[in-house]
Structure formats: structure tokens, C-alpha cells
Structure 1
């Protein structure tokens, strides 16, 4: 939900079923992968790994922040 709304809401606003959006997404991803160069594929893999790491770090920081905020009370 990067844009702040669900797939269902997007589908409803377009007047289509959500599974059609998922199908389009899957088709687009397959097409994009087949047209990427090996360097682009490697970069995408590295970026996805970095995003995963950053999300994990963000969650840890959120939990630590909540912990310390509670400790200060």
C-alpha cells in the first residue's frame, strides 16, 4: 500500500475486481524482469535487500523509541 490505500479501494474506484489488479501487477513484474539486463536485475536484488534491512531497522527503532518513552514516564 505505498500510496496509502488498499488494492480493493483502487479496484473499486476503477470499477474492476481486485484480483484483476493483482493479475496486472504480476504480468507487469514478469514483463519487467524479462526486459531487464543482468546488471539491472542484480541492482534490483540489492535494492530489495536494502529495503528489507531498512524496514527491519525502522521497526527496531520504533520499538526502542516506545520502550524509552515508557521508561521516561
Structure 2
């Protein structure tokens, strides 16, 4: 009889903003250690530590939700797209200038 390894399901768990806030509150306000809270909530300690750090750095915009970005991240993404578009336009103009310069000679 051959035993096979169980397949690893790589599906990320998703937690609501309320769950994250309550987990951080458990550590900060109730004095439960990060290690104990992470065991109780079935989380990796680093995940809980990141939630604590995120809430401490920006309480207003912490945990924006599924697929939503903080305003700063949204602006950075918009500017990256604009830079990519401008580089493409620049490259087209360079090629056109080289083409017309070749014909002028």
C-alpha cells in the first residue's frame, strides 16, 4: 500500500476589519501576550504583530478591506501608471524622431 502526502491547500484566510481590531485590542488593552493571543486565535505571531504595527502607525486607514488601498498607496499606483504611459509616449517620439532624422540625411 502506498501512502501519498495530503495535498496542501494554499488558500489565504481572510479576516474582517472588526476581527483584526479585536485581536489587537486583546493584546493592547487586555494585556494578553502576542504568543498566547495568536495561539488562541489560530494565527501566526508575525501576522498579529503586523496588525498591531499597522494599527499603531495609521489607526484611521488601518485594515482598509479586501482589495482596497490606503489613499497613499492608491496615489503611488496612479503615479506609477502615469510614469509608464509617459515613458511609452517618449519612446514612440524617440523612434519617430530617429525615423525622420534618417530620411533627412
- TM-score normalised to structure 2 length: 0.35
Greater relative contact order (Cα 8 A, min sep 6): structure 1 or 2? 2
Structure of greater Rg: 2
More helix by share: 1
- TM-score normalised to structure 1 length: 0.49
